Structure 1
Amino acid sequence: MSAPLDLHFREMVPDDADAVELVEKACFAIPWSRESFWREAANENTSYTLALDGTRVIGYAGCWISFEEAQITNVAILPAYRGQGVGTRLMAAVIEAVKARGVTAMTLEVRPSNAPARALYARYGFEEAGVRRGYYHDNGEDAIIMWNTKL
């Protein structure tokens, strides 16, 4: 049996860009760059929450904030840490972070093929609201638009 996680969460800062880029590259076919994460962390209209196991960044979730709405841009958990409740706890931390900034509604896009993510978002009150045709550049897959308007 592996050691229990020393799981905790904190806001991303620009110095975290290298560690976040490693998670991004492990999770996505077309990853964002380190520079993109540095800019996002420095932007006052974003909120990025890191999941850490001790001092190691093992996941993150990011949002763009516009007035009372947040658009989730990315959610990623290192493959070795999936299925251990990290995503569930990370979503709770992200929602609390944006609510503290006055957000009352959140939206996101998710692949129809990503059943675990869709189930996670549904547990947090997100409901399907539409489809973006051919949204994902790597394979042309559609995206399901989901909203939670009852934060």
Structure 2
Amino acid sequence: MTLREAMAADAAAIADLLTASWQEAYRALLPRDLLHDRLPGLHSAMWRDHFAAPRPGIVLLAEGTDGLDGFCAAWLQGDEAYVDNLHLRPGLRGGGTGRVLLGHAVAALVARGAVRAALTIIEGNDGARRFYERLGGVAAEAHAAVLHGVPTRYRRIGWTDARVLVRACGVSVLE
């Protein structure tokens, strides 16, 4: 596996992987029409827009012999590393790629001043919640939200010390 920062030329591959990951992970949580009819266009536009005007942060790719295995997008918001996306190609969960991506992305933001880390999951995504809690994340109460016009519930997971998350991922923290 090779890690590298994403470039504008990667937008379509990131959007395709994100859509495939959502279709697998959220099939029991979100409506089929959203997952299969609307998401491909929404994700494509989202990543095209991101690379046209990037947010402060990092989009880190994991590439394997078959191409893009996963990506992690994390934004620097004040002193917080906000992990907006951590997605793997379907079939690759549980092999350590997500942990490596997450650790390196958050470490990059710690080097830029992040002290805390956080992310949000869709309520009912129990596998993701267990993954983040094993890495030291603390889940808040679920709250109502609207996702692409669909009422849903989110749960924020946070780390008061982003370095704890980086270390739990097996990545060194430069101090």
Which structure 1 segments of 5+ residues have no match? Answer: 1-6
Alpha-carbon displacement from aligned partner over 1:74-130 (angstroms, at most 9, x marks no partner): 221111212222112221122212112111111111123222211221132211123
Structure 2 residue identity aligned to 1:128: A
Tell me, yes or no, if the aligned pair for 1:128 and 1:145 is still in contact at 8 Å. Answer: yes
Q: Kindly, what percent of the aligned residue pairs are identical?
A: 24
Please name the residue that 2:160 is paired with: 149
Alignment length (residue pairs): 145
TM-score by length of 2: 0.72
The 5 Å alignment of 1:1-150 reads 7-28=1-22, 29=35, 30=39, 32-41=42-51, 42-54=53-65, 56-137=67-148, 140-150=151-161
Between Structure 1 and Structure 2, which shows a larger proportion of helix residues? 2
Partners of 2:104 and 2:75 in 1: CA distance? 15
Question: What is the aligned-residue RMSD (CA, Å)?
Answer: 2.1
Tell me, yes or no, if the aligned pair for 2:123 and 2:142 is still in contact at 8 Å. Answer: no
Partners of 1:137 and 1:36 in 2: CA distance? 12
Which structure 2 segments of 5+ residues have no match? Answer: 23-34, 163-175
TM-score by length of 1: 0.82
